[in-house]
């Protein structure tokens, strides 16, 4: 009997200890965000320090450990897709391409967690895709329009009075700049680590300028058309006319070269102007080149989301709460000021954009196009990037780039 009582006491003590451990233990949240801080200024705050600082109050108030992981952009889509499949993946995640994530139900439906006031605060909420249950699954950001920059001093040195916008005029200006100044006219990042990174600045804008639409009536990617051919012929002409050379397939530093005053024209994200000014470059914006169908610039809507697996972990409510803090006007204003320059995407943001940039994009609202989501987008863009590189090397014609990319997509990616 004594032994039985002793065993009961031991069991009770163990249960007490276990209960204490559970009660005393903290929940934890893992947050994945890609690197945005590339400044080399010694006073620049790192991405990790920024986000940990912004979430410190949330962590303390909710007694939760917040683990912020900053991921590289290379293969980011594959990394988060794999992570969201796993039980130890992120709870809150920054999302770029969302098609496969939505189709595979990897993102938590947010409608039942957010108030109507919170939903109304997101300016692009209606652009958020929905899951099979009809619930929105992301908080869309406004990534801003990719615009052009030109070096006014280089143009003046070459005797060019105005920005040459038409495709053929642009090519002639680049040749004239090289002849008269010895500097390069134009470069693109065809050696980017992903097809998505390359195409968003070096293909899609020109495709839109040629009048192209990305998806057909069935929502399928379709670029083997007149606009696709015109775009590739334009890119090939840049090579054939000596604007590009064989190094273009490995080019990754066009922005840096413009910032160093070595380049007359570049297309880049809207936040680049301050770094150009800091380097003493006498620069100006241009909205886009003007193709066969007119102007065209691309934008995108990256986003923040919550993993559907957070519900299994019991962290879903905390994760959504963290999501609302991350995407709040207060936090995003600080992010735009300290880390990366983007337009506001919430009503409660007080962030003011560059007035000159606002004026430029405001005059071209009908010429701004969103890069659509579709099945296997990252793999498709990688294949298209590789085939365009082969075109520059003389191994494929523009027609073959289109046909082989679409055949590969239908036979390999979609299968």
- Determine the pLDDT at residue 353: 64
Q: How many angstroms separate the CA atoms of 12 and 41, rounded?
A: 59
- Determine the pLDDT at residue 300: 83
- Determine the pLDDT at residue 274: 73
Q: How many angstroms separate the CA atoms of 277 and 243, rounded?
A: 25
Q: 378 falls in which pLDDT band (50, 70, 90)?
A: confident
175-223 pLDDT, tens digit per residue, is 999 999 999 999 999 999 999 999 999 999 999 999 999 999 888 999 9
Identify the residue with better confidence: 193 or 53: 53
Say which residue the tokens 């997509």 belong to: 409
Q: Is 138 within 8 Å of 303 (Cβ atoms)?
A: yes
Q: How many angstroms separate the CA atoms of 381 and 99, rounded?
A: 14
264-322 pLDDT, tens digit per residue, is 999 998 777 777 988 899 999 999 999 999 999 998 889 999 999 999 999 999 999 99
pLDDT score of 170 more than 90: yes
Q: 25 falls in which pLDDT band (50, 70, 90)?
A: low
- Determine the pLDDT at residue 1: 41
Token pair of 51 as six digits: 């986000």
Q: How many angstroms separate the CA atoms of 162 and 174, rounded?
A: 13
Is 147-299+376-413 in CATH node 3.90.79.10? no
- Give the residue-averaged pLDDT of 388-413: 97
pTM score of the predicted model: 0.78
69-117 pLDDT, tens digit per residue, is 999 998 898 999 999 999 889 999 999 989 999 999 999 999 999 999 9
Pairing of the two strands 92-95 and 303-306: antiparallel
Rg (CA), the chain: 25
Determine the CATH number of domain 25-143+301-358: 3.40.190.10
The CATH 3.40.190.10 portion of the chain extends over: 25-143+301-358, 147-299+376-413
Long-range contacts of 220-228 (CB under 8 A, 24+ apart): 220/374, 220/375, 221/372, 221/374, 221/375, 221/377, 221/380, 221/409, 222/406, 223/384, 223/402, 223/405, 223/406, 224/402, 224/403, 224/405, 224/406, 227/293, 228/402
Q: How many angstroms separate the CA atoms of 413 and 376, rounded?
A: 6
Contacts of 19 (CB under 8 A, 6+ apart): none
């Amino acid at each position: 009997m004594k032994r039985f009582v002793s065993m009961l006491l031991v069991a009770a003590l163990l249960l007490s200890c276990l209960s204490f451990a559970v009660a005393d233990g903290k929940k934890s949240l893992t947050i994945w965000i890609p690197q945005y801080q590339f400044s080399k200024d010694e006073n620049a705050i790192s991405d990790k320090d920024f986000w940990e600082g912004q979430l410190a109050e949330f962590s303390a108030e909710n007694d939760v450990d917040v683990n912020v992981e900053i991921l590289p952009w290379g293969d980011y889509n594959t990394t988060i897709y794999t992570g969201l499949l796993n039980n130890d993946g992120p709870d809150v995640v920054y999302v770029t391409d969302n098609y496969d994530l939505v189709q595979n139900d990897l993102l938590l439906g947010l409608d039942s967690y957010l108030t109507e006031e919170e939903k109304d605060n997101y300016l692009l909420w209606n652009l958020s895709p929905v899951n099979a249950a009809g619930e929105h699954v992301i908080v869309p950001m406004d990534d801003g329009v990719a615009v052009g920059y030109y070096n006014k001093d280089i143009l003046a040195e070459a005797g060019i009075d105005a920005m040459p916008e038409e495709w053929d005029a642009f090519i002639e200006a680049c040749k004239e700049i090289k002849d008269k100044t010895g500097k390069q006219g134009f470069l693109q990042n065809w050696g980017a680590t992903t097809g998505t990174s390359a195409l968003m600045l070096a293909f899609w804008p020109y495709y839109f300028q040629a009048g192209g639409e990305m998806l057909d009536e069935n929502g399928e990617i379709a670029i083997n058309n007149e606009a696709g051919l015109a775009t590739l012929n334009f890119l090939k002409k840049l090579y054939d006319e000596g604007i590009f050379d064989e190094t273009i397939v490995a080019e990754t530093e066009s922005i840096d070269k413009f910032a160093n005053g070595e380049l007359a024209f570049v297309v880049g994200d809207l936040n680049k102007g301050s770094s150009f000014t800091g380097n003493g470059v006498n620069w100006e914006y241009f909205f886009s080149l003007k193709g066969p169908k007119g102007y065209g610039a691309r934008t995108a809507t990256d986003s923040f989301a919550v993993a559907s697996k957070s519900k299994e972990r019991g962290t879903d409510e905390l994760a959504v709460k963290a999501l609302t803090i991350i995407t709040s006007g207060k936090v995003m204003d600080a992010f735009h000021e300290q880390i990366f320059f983007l337009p506001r995407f919430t009503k409660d943001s007080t962030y003011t954009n560059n007035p000159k940039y606002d004026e430029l994009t405001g005059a071209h609202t009908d010429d701004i196009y969103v890069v659509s989501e579709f099945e296997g987008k990252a793999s498709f863009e990688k294949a298209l990037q590789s085939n365009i590189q082969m075109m520059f090397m003389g191994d494929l014609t523009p027609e073959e780039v289109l046909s082989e990319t679409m055949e590969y997509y239908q036979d390999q990616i979609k299968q």
